[in-house]
Amino acid sequence: MSISIGSILDAFKTGAGPSSSHSIGPQRAARFFLARSKQQPARFRVTLYGSLAETGRGHLTDQTIAQALAPTDCEIAWDTQTDNLKHPCTMKFEAFYSDGSAPTVWTVYSVGGGNLEDDAGPIGNPEPATYPFLHIGEAIRWCEENRLSFWQLAERHESQLWPRLGAVWDTMRDSVARGLKSKQVFLPGTLGLPRRAPLTWQRAQQLQSPQRDLASLSAFALAVAEENANGGAIVTAPTCGSAGVLPGLLYYYETVKEVPRQKILQALATAGLFGAAIKANATVSGAEGGCQAEIGSASSMAAAAGSQILGGSLRQIEYAAEIGMEHHLGLTCDPVEGYVQIPCIERNMMACLRAFECAAFSVLTDGQHLVSFDDVIDVMYTTGHDLQSAYRETARGGLALLWRKRMTRPPPVSS
Ligand code: SF4
């Protein structure tokens, strides 16, 4: 556990979908391992454990690692038997040499949002911790004493904040626009799931508000989630699986409500602050905390951003973020066939709509409430650890199990 909130940019990593913990993290690990191998290896072996072994095929983990280590030959071993793992997304990298010298071995954990750790600590120089506190409650007190907003707080503690957030927002916007225009009929994989964003967007424009607003929000969130499922370039917010929620909401405010770009970037800064607090105090990994840690976190971040755009005070923004998480508590992760498609894509849409409602409600209140954002993050973390592993990105329970039973059901006997 951290001693302070890290950079808000750590919640926003640009990469290729479909999964931050199962594709971006393993890809980064493979590159680090390649760089630390003593000499050119003759071959690699990478053993995937836990959630990576259970859902890695659907999440393209093996392909991602093999591409990162190419052209050297790489064997992928799937170990679903070893339990008592230090982290549910554990990988063991081994490099073998033609001169017979001892192999290089490295065990590394993909801890969520594309971040990595090994037994010595975080890997890959994550953004340095820059804030003098760990909790949002302390951030509110600091802002009140200094008469600052959340985004001004971020501005004071991060270098090059606006150009860096500008680049993040450009990638987010592109992912929405690409998803809305896509001509691809079916997403990759065996489910045969059709893309829905382009038609939803077309139909939205034939409606009157408020249905038009809700349909537009749905289309924008679906667009990014479908791009992610297709392995397209997206930004984690805070993960790949939940990458449609925050961009969906902000794209709505920028393109439909004509909110100026600078206000969108300020909202992104506030969302990032709440995401960084979740990463520092709990987890954003579906394999560790269930879908509440991914989609719940995304909805919470988007609700904070939306409340700020609507003119919310510090306490109203914090309330929006709290509700965004509270009503996702207990949400399980059970991706069908291990693809980040069912329930993930629709879940982005629902969480975006919920964030919109949380933000709207928060500014109707005086911001006072009994369960704080910091409290609900603690509850999310403990609830996540209480969930059986079948509901933490192993595709062994819930919808994934239902699908597996359906696929193995014997065909009806004809008379
Ligand atoms: S169910 Fe949620 S946590 Fe699990 S892979 Fe899908 S989006 Fe991620």
Class for the domain spanning 17-123? alpha beta
pLDDT in the model for residue 152: 97
pLDDT in the model for residue 232: 93
Q: Is the pLDDT of residue 114 over 60?
A: yes
Tell me if 393 CB under 6 Å of ligand 1.
yes
User: Among residues of the chain, what percentage have pLDDT more than 70?
Assistant: 97
Distance from C-alpha of 178 to C-alpha of 320, rounded to nearest angstrom = 29
Provide the CATH topology of domain 136-403. Answer: 2-methylcitrate dehydratase PrpD (1.10.4100)
Distance from C-alpha of 126 to C-alpha of 218, rounded to nearest angstrom = 33
* pLDDT tens-digit series, residues 383-392: 999 999 999 9
* pLDDT tens-digit series, residues 124-170: 866 666 798 999 999 999 999 999 999 999 999 999 999 999 999 99
User: How far, in Å, are 98, 105, 307, 358 from residue 361 at the CA level?
Assistant: 64, 52, 9, 5
Tell me if 333 CB under 6 Å of ligand 1.
yes
Domain boundaries, the chain: 17-123, 136-403
Give the range among 117-121, 303-307, 343-347 with minimum mean pLDDT.
117-121
Q: Whose CA is nearest to atom 4 of ligand 1?
A: 333
Q: Is the pLDDT of residue 415 over 70?
A: no
Pocket test for ligand 1, best of 340, 383, 392, 394 (most atoms within 8 A of CB): 340
- The two three-digit tokens of residue 17, written as one number: 């979908």
| Average pLDDT value for the chain | 94
What is the band of 2 on the pLDDT scale with cuts at 50, 70, 90? low
Q: Is 397 exposed, middle or buried (0-12, 13-18, 19+ CB in 10 A)?
A: middle
* pLDDT tens-digit series, residues 342-365: 999 999 999 999 999 999 999 999
Tell me if 347 CB under 6 Å of ligand 1.
yes
* pLDDT tens-digit series, residues 179-189: 999 999 999 99
Kindly give the number of the ligand 1 atom that is closest to the alpha carbon of 332. 1
